[in-house]
Amino acid sequence: MNSITLLIILVLYLGFLFAIAQWAEKKSNNKWTNNAYIYTLSLAVYCTTWTYYGSIGVAANSGVNYLAIYLGPVMVIPTWILILKKIIRISRVNKISGIADFISLRYGNDRFLGALVTVICVVGILPYIALQLKAISETFHIVTQTADTIILKDTTTYVAIALALFTSYYGTRYVDASEKRKGIVMAIAVESFLKLVFFLTIGIFVTFFAFDGFQDIFNQASLLENFSEKNSIGDFSQAINWFLLCILSLFAIFILPRQFHVSIIENNREKHIKTAIWLFPLYLLLFNLFVYPIAWGGNILFEGNPVNADMYSLYIAQLFEQQWLVLLVFLGGFSAAISMIVVSTIALSTMLSNNLLIPYGFIGKLQSDKQEKNSNRIVRSRKIGIFSLIIVAYFIFRYFALDYSLVSIGLISFVIIAQLAPSFFGALFWKRGSAKGAIAGIIVGFLICFYTLLVPYAIGISTLENHFISDGLFGIEILKPFQLVGLDYLEPVPHALFWSLLANFFIYYGVSISFKGNYRERNYAEMYVDIDKYISNHENAFIWKGTAYKADIEKILNRFLGEERTTRALRIFNVKYNIDNDTTMADARLIKFSENLLTGHIGTASAKILIGSVAKEDQISLPEVLRILEESKENILLNKKLTETSNELQKLSIQLKEANETLLKKDKQKDDFLDTVTHELRTPITAIRASTELLYDDDEIPEDIKKQFLQNIITESDRLNRLIDQILDLEKFETGKQKIYLSENQITKTFEKVINPLKQLLNNKSIQVNTHFEIEDFKLLYDEERIIQVFTNLLSNAIKFCSGNHAKIDIYFYDKVEYIEIAVSNFGKPIPEDDLLTIFDKFYQSNNQNIKKPIGSGLGLAICKKIIEAHHGKIWAENSNATVTLKFTLPKRY
Amino acid sequence: MKKILIVDDEPNILMTLEYAFKKKNYLVFIARDGQEALDLMHIEIPNLVILDIMMPEVDGYAALHAMKENPLLRNCKVIFLSAKNQESDIEKGLLLGADAYVTKPFSIKKLLEKVENLLVD
């Protein structure tokens, strides 16, 4: 494949990733971009070209050793659910934008510590970036089958420049570095997915097409020289080497700037961790599945024809003349490289600007009152940072790092970064750790690395035979860089790790407990270690005494956030802590809040410097801080209790309110009931009074009318009496005084007792009654007198409302196995849907308005309902085809 | 002869009123609910309406409201005759535009006087 074709493919591939990033940026809260799978895949930025190519080299040359780098993470990942969550919370509330911020803030927001961490990271990671560029370059040359030439003629130089430009443009879209970069994360996730797929493709190809499966490779490989030697775990000292490598990678998964960036800064939801803890190990497992077959397949295929074992995957594809496979493998490696480069340089440039550049001088350049100007300057400094990091890394690769395998450079990086481990984990779990301890530990640890790794490797590059390595510094035996103090069974990397971390750890511990830290350290220690206590109002945990004017602070915020964001942020702050808008003085909470707002833009140290420039702080002694912390702890406890109590009170008050409402409703019902009762009572009285008055005053009333009036008086008196009976009945049911006397009866007999006396009346009104018995004649338990009352009410109701020329009432008796159902229906106007249930209320009133006349006696159906319910039955009404039906049930077994 | 429309859903009350007003030489119409009353009024515009309030379907308030909407009926005198005897009920009735409000149970004599007075004006 020629260079031009490959370049075009690369441009297309980058364009595709760019489009994905753009799309994700637009849909930043979409379920496609903001989910646990994208998060987990982005964590796979861990697998760089070192994994993609380097593991194969290690496996080919020294068997299973490559596994240690993946076992470490797999061992520690289950603890993520606690540790990672804690780090995420701390970083979120403090607006932390990188590991330098994270460590330095904990140790009293120490400017020097932040800068030191930054330097360590840059020194550790730059060669690692160089390694990626080296892989891109080498593979590019293998694919195009060209040799690398002088720097300006080499195509890969331009690939590096293009990559630098792209990353510096895309990685710095936000001034606030703690802001999420959904586009980048999405692109990284897609790359992680593709590199895995491509790697699996070549793995399957080698295993099943080039060979006949795993067994075949193993059989052929076992015939090779050195096979068993390379594939044994070895003796005890080998095991210790292994163990140390596991420890190394275990630290790396937390502390590597790119891992910190994707797992902490870019974490959108804590719950995504839950998916990551099983999916990420699975990803690593899948990635390692074919490393061994490819490596030993390569060893078999290229026996006696040595090629760089790191690149077996490409060579094998080329050997079988599979151009498409060569291209896929190359693109997978390219993905692995650029995702590492992009994330690492973003993380490093943020640290460079926020923890080194701005706090050490550049801050003076950010004095403009215009927010845009300041923001532009910050962003520009980061752009330059990213660009130069990549370019410098490219030079390192071109001039220094050509001789070593991918893995060895990667491991050196890991060891350097691991120097941050004691102060990093100390920050999470140990309140006594101090800035002095952290700084001393890191420096000593780094110096040991320098002596035991960097210097020998640098000397090794010049390939001169050297007495320094073989005899030790000044010929002193115990100073041999690879065998310090005579420790001679460790390989260089575990050896360096062992000594540097040992010293680092004890110095960190020793200095921390020997020297008093300052109060700010103690304050942040509290906020880090006990983060869960302060998660919702961490500003409260910040201790600060002094004088500061709100207006001054606002002015500074304006300079970096712009007026709109500042005003909005302060409004939220005021609401959160219930602070009057007109307050002129700033308190500790506002100081912390403002520092946080600035942190994302300029880093923790500069934020402190800037706020400190307008806030006159009084010194507080350490004991006082401890006392305040103790108090605030108590306060927080007290607060918690208060909140609980107030929640309880609130619950109670809601209950009271509900009870009150129920009472009011009942009261209203009672009023309505009384209203209706009085109306119902007054109506017959009115009729009686009117008739009586006329009879009394008027002597000339014709005889028949006089009779009619007297009849009125009798009917209305009866009605009055009936009404009073019903009211009393209902009252008895409601207060529970009404007893049900059950006895065995036949329902049909009971019904006859009701219908027979009514026959005359029905005849007179020419209403036809049909009875349908679809029921065996068996005995039921019920209170006959009450059921008679129900039948009477339902029938009189039906009689009253049946209409039409052929007035007709149907009564049905059904056997429903568990119970019997009785229906009384009549032709007539349907009951409005809304009222189907309410007609069984006492004095049913349509539409809740008490102006409409109640239907029927008003109380009849209410009484029926009470009776049926007392028998554990149901009663309801239905409309169908101009027929109104009232139904009730009686259970067979009581 | 003055025309009087009596609206009530209680037949026994209706009967006594019909008798009493006829005796005083009014032309008496009766209706059992608001709708029937409104239908009647379109045929025969009464001088005065005696109107119950709580009736099924169209109640007294609604009937009065409909009358006030109709220019032909707007000037009919209206007496509410109701068992609702709360002050608020009376106030509401008068606000709607009734000329008088008589509570049940009532004295026929007094009702007759009230009607006479209203029809003199």
What digits encode the pLDDT tens for the residues A385-397?
889 999 998 888 8
- What local confidence, expressed as pLDDT, does residue A600 receive? 77
Task: Give the one of A687, A698, A853 whose C-beta lies nearest to B12's C-beta.
Answer: A687
Residue A855 has pLDDT above 60, yes or no: no
Q: Could you report the per-residue pLDDT of A695-712, keeping only the tens digit for each?
A: 998 888 899 999 999 999
Q: Percent of chain A having pLDDT more than 70?
A: 89
3-class DSSP state of A823 = strand
Mean pLDDT over A669-675 rounds to: 76
Q: Could you report the per-residue pLDDT of A470-514, keeping only the tens digit for each?
A: 666 666 666 667 766 666 667 788 888 998 999 999 999 999 988
Q: Name the helix (H) or strand (E) containing A546.
A: strand A546-548
- What local confidence, expressed as pLDDT, does residue B3 receive? 93
Q: Is residue A305 packed enough to be buried (19+ CB in 10 Å), middle (13-18) or exposed (0-12)?
A: exposed
| A855–B12 C-beta distance less than 8 A | no
Q: What CATH number is given for A743-891 in this structure?
A: 3.30.565.10
Here the tokens at position A789 are 């009352």
Neighbours of A157 (CB within 10 A): 19
Candidates A671, A674, A683, A719, partner chain B, best to mutate (most B CBs within 10 A): A683
Q: Could you report the per-residue pLDDT of A618-666, keeping only the tens digit for each?
A: 777 777 777 766 776 677 677 778 878 888 888 888 888 988 888 888 8
Which among A407, A345, A408 is positioned nearest to A129, based on CA atoms? Answer: A345
Cα separation, A175 vs A150, in Å, equals 38
- What local confidence, expressed as pLDDT, does residue A851 receive? 46
Under the banding of pLDDT at 50, 70 and 90, the label for residue A406 is: low
Q: What angle, rounded to 10 degrees, do the helices at A421-429 and A99-106 form?
A: 60
Task: Give the one of B53, B60, B105 whose C-beta lies nearest to A682's C-beta.
Answer: B105
- What local confidence, expressed as pLDDT, does residue A110 receive? 87
Cα separation, A892 vs A380, in Å, equals 88
Tell me the residues of chain A between 193 and 222 that have a Cβ less than 8 Å away from chain B. none
Q: Say whether residue A690 is in contact with chain B using an 8 A CB cutoff.
A: yes
- What local confidence, expressed as pLDDT, does residue A847 receive? 42
A163-172, A326-335, A418-427, A862-871: least confidently modelled range:
A163-172
- What local confidence, expressed as pLDDT, does residue A804 receive? 65
- What local confidence, expressed as pLDDT, does residue A304 receive? 76
DSSP-assigned letters across all residues of B14-83: HHHHHHHHHHTT-EEEEESSHHHHHHHHHHS--SEEEE-S--SSS-HHHHHHHHHHSTTTTTSEEEEEES
Give the nearest chain A residue to B17 (CA atoms): A690
Task: Confirm or reject CATH 1.10.287.130 for domain A627-734, answering yes or no.
Answer: yes
Contact residues on chain B for A688, CB-CB shorter than 8 A: 105
Beta bridge partners of A814: A774, A821
Which among A829, A827, A812, A823 is positioned nearest to A768, based on CA atoms? Answer: A827
3-class DSSP state of A535 = coil
Q: What angle, rounded to 10 degrees, do the helices at A703-734 and B11-23 form?
A: 150
Amino acid at B86: Q
Task: Give the minimum alpha-carbon distance from B13 to chain A in angstroms, rounded to a whole number.
Answer: 5
Under the banding of pLDDT at 50, 70 and 90, the label for residue A667 is: confident
Q: What CATH number is given for A3-406 in this structure?
A: 1.20.1730.10
- What local confidence, expressed as pLDDT, does residue A846 receive? 43
Contact residues on chain B for A687, CB-CB shorter than 8 A: 10, 12-13, 16
Which among A326, A402, A289 is positioned nearest to A59, based on CA atoms? Answer: A289
| B20–A687 C-beta distance less than 8 A | no
Residue A752 has pLDDT above 80, yes or no: yes
Mean pLDDT in chain A?
Answer: 83
- What local confidence, expressed as pLDDT, does residue B4 receive? 94
Amino acid at A545: K
3-class DSSP state of A604 = helix
3-class DSSP state of A642 = helix
- What local confidence, expressed as pLDDT, does residue A167 receive? 84
Give the nearest chain B residue to A714 (CA atoms): B12
C-beta separation of A345 from A384 below 8 A: no
| B15–A853 C-beta distance less than 8 A | no
Residue A551 has pLDDT above 80, yes or no: yes
Cα separation, A12 vs A18, in Å, equals 10
Residue A528 has pLDDT above 80, yes or no: yes
Contact residues on chain A for B105, CB-CB shorter than 8 A: 682, 685-686, 688-690
Q: Say whether residue B110 is in contact with chain A using an 8 A CB cutoff.
A: no
Give the nearest chain A residue to B57 (CA atoms): A852
Under the banding of pLDDT at 50, 70 and 90, the label for residue A281 is: very high
Question: Model-level pTM?
Answer: 0.63
Mean pLDDT over A88-100 rounds to: 89
Cα separation, A794 vs A282, in Å, equals 73
- What local confidence, expressed as pLDDT, does residue A853 receive? 52
Per-residue exposure over A753-775, b if at least 16 CB sit within 10 Å of its own CB, e if not: ebbeebeeebeeeebebeeeeeb
A3-406 and A627-734 have identical folds: no
Cα separation, A53 vs A650, in Å, equals 63
Contact residues on chain B for A676, CB-CB shorter than 8 A: none
| B12–A715 C-beta distance less than 8 A | yes
Whether residue B105 is preceded by a cis peptide bond, meaning omega within 30 degrees of 0, is: yes
How many beta-carbon pairs under 8 angstroms link A with B? 76
Tell me the residues of chain B between 18 and 57 that have a Cβ less than 8 Å away from chain A. 19-20, 23, 53-57
Q: Where are the beta strands (DSSP E) in A624-759?
A: 743-746
- What local confidence, expressed as pLDDT, does residue A51 receive? 85
| Contacts for A865-873: CB closer than 8 Å, 24+ residues apart | A865/A840, A866/A730, A866/A733, A866/A734, A866/A738, A867/A733, A867/A740, A867/A783, A867/A786, A867/A787, A867/A789, A867/A790, A868/A790, A870/A733, A870/A738, A870/A740, A870/A783, A870/A786, A871/A740, A871/A782, A871/A783, A871/A786, A871/A787, A873/A819
Neighbours of A405 (CB within 10 A): 18
Residue that is written with structure tokens 């009729």 in the block: A687
Of residues A373 and A285, the one with the higher pLDDT is A285
Residue that is written with structure tokens 């989910």 in the block: A35
Q: Say whether residue B60 is in contact with chain A using an 8 A CB cutoff.
A: yes
Task: Give the minimum alpha-carbon distance from A849 to chain B in angstroms, rounded to a whole number.
Answer: 10
Listed in sequence order, the DSSP H helices in A831-889 are 860-870
Q: Is residue A183 packed enough to be buried (19+ CB in 10 Å), middle (13-18) or exposed (0-12)?
A: buried
| A690–B13 C-beta distance less than 8 A | yes
Mean pLDDT over A448-452 rounds to: 87
- Residue A829 is given by DSSP the state P
| Contacts for A806-809: CB closer than 8 Å, 24+ residues apart | A806/A768, A807/A765, A807/A766, A807/A767, A807/A768, A808/A767, A808/A768, A808/A769, A808/A770, A809/A762, A809/A767, A809/A768, A809/A769, A809/A770
Mean pLDDT over A370-374 rounds to: 78
Q: Name the helix (H) or strand (E) containing A880.
A: strand A875-880
Of residues A539 and A684, the one with the higher pLDDT is A684
Q: Give Cα A572 to chain centroid, integer Å.
A: 23
Residue A878 has pLDDT above 50, yes or no: yes
Q: What angle, rounded to 10 degrees, do the helices at A80-94 and A588-614 form?
A: 60
Listed in sequence order, the DSSP H helices in A352-433 are 371-399, 406-418, 421-429
HEC string of A105-164 equals HHCCCCHHHHHHHHHHHHHHHHHHHHHHHHHHHHHHHHHHCCCCCCCCCCHHHHHHHHHH
Which among A716, A853, A852 is positioned nearest to B16, based on CA atoms? Answer: A716
Residue A845 has pLDDT above 60, yes or no: no
The parts of chain B modelled with pLDDT lower than 50 are none
HEC string of A468-494 equals HHHHCHHHCHHHCCCCHHHCCCCCHHH
| A855–B83 C-beta distance less than 8 A | no
Mean pLDDT over A406-421 rounds to: 84
List chain A domain ranges. 3-406, 536-615, 627-734, 743-891
Here the tokens at position A545 are 């005494």
Residue A27 has pLDDT above 70, yes or no: yes
- What local confidence, expressed as pLDDT, does residue A485 receive? 64
| A689–B106 C-beta distance less than 8 A | yes
Task: Give the minimum alpha-carbon distance from A878 to chain B in angstroms, rounded to a whole number.
Answer: 20
Fold of B3-120: Rossmann fold (3.40.50)
